[in-house]
Every structure is written in structure tokens, then in C-alpha cells.
Structure 1
């Protein structure tokens, strides 16, 4: 993990102290948000280290499960606190930021170093089809609500739970497809990364080189990293509690709507470490891996995190459903449309990255100036 991310760990005690000393909601909100960024990175590192030990299949499932654990924890605590519209905004924002911001920066910075970069077009088209399903699944409950007179909240939630179950089943099928039956379509990025590590090792067989090589081949301690993962998860929960508790007052003081905060600010906080990874590997000409991180994260949000939150809302007696703000749906549809059109040919360049970032900025300004709607003030 980057040393600058490690430096942000200092905000963990600062945010907790700010809460006890009552330094103000804005201070708590900012410091808790900064503290979550390195914790999300550590959670990713711990998950990857455990995945090395347990093998590719179980490791892939572990990575898929914990890939967006930070966003899930933040959203769950917000849902528990009754901030349903903020949870929906966070889901929308996570999909948009991964498809436009992360992929845009990856293609732009990677394209500035390499004239044209290539990635698996077949996998890209399959991911595009899955994202189209996600958009349809978000659109249908909203369409039912707007085209039906007097539909009850309970009925809408039941429909959303049914759709959520289908989406989770589809997510399971995508995991089976990508990790088992058609894993060769998704192996290129990881194979390239392993090859790069091997070629970077010294060729001379000095005693120190041999020792370092043996150390490099040693498997991580699964119990140590499991403990790290547990501890980091608990810290993320604590910081998320501080973040959510201070969100409404802090955003009002900063002149931001909770809609803008949910769509733009919170996804960037929860995904910062993952964003850095996608951009870094793209600048090493590993676009397969970069696309896997960016698109895979969006798919997980749409097919797993959102449905889990809908089902959790049902058990928590919170009115969490898939009836989204129409403008949020427009934003998600635009993001998916643009990302699919850019990635369909299996090639990328800096201009395509710039177009994705421009689309994100347009949507970001639209959310910033979007008037406060009921439930988000």
C-alpha cells in the first residue's frame, strides 16, 4: 500500500478524539472520511494475502466478497440510521465513479504513457451485458412506481426483494463463469502481473538474492492476515458510524446536499484505495487488470451490494427498495452507456479516458446543483 495512504491512518485516533471532545460535526465528518481511505486499502491487502493461501477459487470468492466491503459497511450503518435515500445515492455513486472516474483516469494516464492499450474485448462485452441487466433491474421498480396509481410501499419493497434475490443469483452465476467455467477469459491481467514480478527478480544467484527469493516464495500467515482483516473491519465500522452520524449536519454546514455527498463524496472515500490500484496498473500497461478492478467493482455494487442492502432493509424494517430518484437512474444509464461504448472494442487511449472523465464531471456538476429532494435534506 502507498506510503501516503499509510500516513492517513493518523486520522483514526484524531476522528475518535474529535468525537469525544466534540470538535464539531464537520471535523468529525472529514477526519472519519480520511481515516476510512487507508482502512479500505488495508482491507484489500489483507484479503489478497489470505487469497494467496487459500487458492485461486476460494481466493477469488474472497476477493469478490470483500471487494466492496467498505461501501457495504458505510451503507449498512446509514441504512440502520434510517438514511435510506443516502444509501441509494451511495449505490448510484459507486457505480458511476467506477465506470467513469476510475476507468477514465486509468485510460487517460495509461494512454499518455502508451499510445494504445488492449484488454479482453470478450470479457468487456460480457460485463457490459451484466451492467445492462443491473440498469434494467434498477429501472423496473421505479417504472412500476411511476406508472401505477396508489402502489403501496410494502408492495414496492416486496418487488424489490424479489428482484434483489434474482440479482444475487446472477452475481453467483457471474462468479461461476469468471472463476470456473470460463476463467481463461479473465486470467490475462493476473498472468501479466505475475510475469512482470518474475522478470523483475534478479538473475544472479547470490546468497542474498537466494534468501530474498525464498522469502518472496513464502506463503503469508493466514491467521495474521485474518486478524488484520477482522481488526480493520471493526475500525471501518467505527469510522463509518462517526461518518454517518455527522453526515447531515456536516453536509449542511459545508453547503452540500446529502444527494451530492452520497453520489460523489462517499464513493470516492470508500473506493480511494481501489481507484489508486486500477490507475497504477493501467500505467504499467496492465489494462486487463485495471478494467477488472473498475468494472468488477461496479458489477459487485449493482449485483451484490445493492440487493443485500434491500434484503437488509426488509429485516431492519427500513423502507429500502430499488425505487431510485429518476435523475440517479439517468446518471447510471448514461455511465453504463458511455463506458460500454468506449470499452466494447477491447482497446483504449487517452482521449477515451478524457471522455469518461468529462462525462463524470458533467454528472458531478448536475448532482451539485440538483435541488434538495424529499428525504435527502
Structure 2
């Protein structure tokens, strides 16, 4: 078994440990640490299952599978935290995941790939299309904050209304991006799909002799892994959320820093592994599509879903962000679009993206909100 498969398998030991820690009352700190560590391998398995199912089912259905399960870990944690009333942390996690996808995923990919290859190329149209969409999404998310903070007579009662209206537009735009990428202009994304299918075909042919019907068997296996991983992530998220407020107060972290930096770091480890692996294989089209696609999914789908679910369960969450969060998202989008617009990347580009994230992280750590 390869190391990349063995490590997530070993880390699964923290799942029963976290359950024991909660049941036997070993303390909130132990539950916090073990549940955090348990979420990491579960998110990796969930992400892997999503990728495998997407390859087996073909571009159209596979694209939808990736669209709805690509950020399942982040969505599950956010929903559990929202149900627990941790609205500030959930709201900050939206910002944090967008920053992580744009700066960390893309930065790690360009750095890792750049250390192996002098220069890498990818289709500029990928960053143009996704870059335009994420720019619109961030502008839309920023507008409620700008309206509220620039109007001295804005009625607080109208905040949910403007958030719901914005969320509705964002979901429509997300539907249009799916139509564009999966139907009308799917040829723009064919390189990544072909490369991934080649990998899958090689794996399938190597196991042909040991399984009577390898395709169906492997598909069912990954469907089961996807379902079990999702359930396990929900359970571990419940343990994590149950102690997170107490622990961040003990450590001295703000809800803003926890949502923007800590939670995305825990939930997006699978993404870090995926883009690094793809970049080292010089599959930069697929890498860029993954990084920018994840940020689009959060901004255009996850954030609106949280707004609607919050209204439904009586934990209203709006899009009135901290102004510094809006500024941070604008910085991330601007720097990412600037660096990736040429369709070429090197290790310095990756280092600059990661440095931008580190600077924003330091700022969020000292931000008093």
C-alpha cells in the first residue's frame, strides 16, 4: 500500500479515540484535539470517493457529483456549527474557505509543481472563466456589508432580506456556471477529465484479473465510502463543535480567527493533498480547475445554502460580514487573478500566494473582532 493511502488509514484511529474521549469524559481539550484529527482522514476519504465516483460516472454526472460533494466536509461542519448557534464562526468559515481555496490550494500547487518543473502551463480560459465568476461572487457577498456600513439609516430588519436576495442570485449564477462547464462549453474542461480518466483506466486495468466486474464493484465500494465518510464527518463535527467555543476561549483565539483560519485548515487537508499530487504530475489544468472550482462552490453554493438553512432552522445567518473579511476576500481574488492570468506558473508564484495567506492569517489573529 502506498504512503498516500496508508497515512489516512492510520489517522482513522482518532475516530474511535475521539468517541471514547467524549463518552468517558476525558476533557474538552482531548475531545477537541482528537475530533480535529479524526476529521482530517475522513475528509481525505470523502474527497477521494468523490473523485473516484466522478470518474466512473462520466463527465456530466461526475461534474455534478464533484459540484455537490467537493466541499462536503466544510458544509457539514458549517451546518453542525450553525445548528449549535455558532453563527459568527460559521460566517467566518465562509471567508476562510474562499481564502484557503484561492491562496493555499493554488499556492501549494504552484510551489510543489514549480519545484519539480521550471515552469508549468495551464489553459488561461480556466482562470478567466472561474476568475470572473469568483470576482462576481465576492462582489455580491460584499454588497450587503457595504450597504449596511455606508448607510446610517439602514433598518436592521432588512439585513436578512438583502442576504436572502443575494443568496438567491448567487445560486442562480452557480447553476449557470454548471450549465456552462458541464454542457454548453464542456470542451474547455476536457483536458483535466481526460487526464483523470487515463489514471483511472490504468488503475482499473491493473485490477481486472482479480475482480469479476471491476467497474461496478469499485463504483459501489466508493459510493459506500462516500456515504460512511459523510456520516462520520457529521458525527465528528458534532463532537468538535460541542467543545470548540470552550477551547478557543481557553487558548485565546477569537471566533473570527477560528472560522477564517482554523476550521478551513482542518476541513481542507484533502484539497491540499489533491492539488499537490496533481501539480507534481504536471496536471495543472486539472489543478487550477480544482482550486478555483472549490472557491466557486463555497461562494456560489455553500454560502447561499447556509443562509437559507439558517432561516429554516431558526439560526439566521446573513451576509453582513466583518469589513475586514470583505477586504481579505477582495485581496485574495485580486492576487490570484493577477498571478494566474498568464496561464503560466512557477514556484515563486506559489510562494507569493502562500505569503499573501500568511500575512492575512497574522492580521486575522490580531484582529479584535
- The normalised TM-score by structure 2 is 0.93
Deviation for aligned residue 1:45: 2.4
**Match status 1:96 vs 2:93:** no
Find the counterpart in structure 2 of residue 205 from structure 1.
none
CA contact (8 A) 1:52 1:219 kept: no
Find the counterpart in structure 1 of residue 79 from structure 2.
76
Find the counterpart in structure 2 of residue 131 from structure 1.
134
Find the counterpart in structure 1 of residue 255 from structure 2.
258
**3-state secondary structure, aligned to 1:152:** coil
**Match status 1:364 vs 2:356:** no
Find the counterpart in structure 1 of residue 209 from structure 2.
211
More displaced stretch, 119-128 vs 224-233: 224-233
- Distance of 2:332 and 2:269 partners within structure 1: 19
Q: 1:284 aligns with which of 277, 281, 294?
A: 281
**Match status 1:47 vs 2:45:** no
Find the counterpart in structure 2 of residue 328 from structure 1.
325
1:186-243 per-residue CA deviation (whole Å, 9 max, x = no partner) reads: 11122234446668999xxxxx99737x879634454443333222211111111111
CA contact (8 A) 2:14 2:34 kept: yes
Deviation for aligned residue 1:290: 1.0
1:238-287 per-residue CA deviation (whole Å, 9 max, x = no partner) reads: 11111111111111222322211111111011110121001111011111
More displaced stretch, 13-22 vs 146-155: 146-155
Find the counterpart in structure 1 of residue 90 from structure 2.
87
- Distance of 1:245 and 1:209 partners within structure 2: 43
Superposition pairs for residues 45-194 of structure 1, below 5 Å?
45-194=48-197
CA contact (8 A) 2:55 2:200 kept: no
Unpaired segments ≥5 residues, structure 1: 203-207
C-alpha change, 1:269 and 1:160, in structure 2 (3 Å) is: same
Aligned length in residues: 366
C-alpha change, 1:210 and 1:331, in structure 2 (3 Å) is: closer
C-alpha change, 1:222 and 1:109, in structure 2 (3 Å) is: closer
CA contact (8 A) 1:95 1:298 kept: yes
- Distance of 2:221 and 2:200 partners within structure 1: 24
CA contact (8 A) 1:338 1:356 kept: yes
Unpaired segments ≥5 residues, structure 2: none
Find the counterpart in structure 1 of residue 297 from structure 2.
300
**3-state secondary structure, aligned to 2:268:** helix
C-alpha change, 1:210 and 1:10, in structure 2 (3 Å) is: closer
- Distance of 1:216 and 1:74 partners within structure 2: 36
- Distance of 1:201 and 1:152 partners within structure 2: 60
Q: Say what the alpha-carbon RMSD is for the aligned residues.
A: 2.1
- Distance of 2:129 and 2:7 partners within structure 1: 36
Deviation for aligned residue 1:336: 0.5
- Distance of 1:285 and 1:148 partners within structure 2: 49
- Distance of 2:224 and 2:18 partners within structure 1: 23
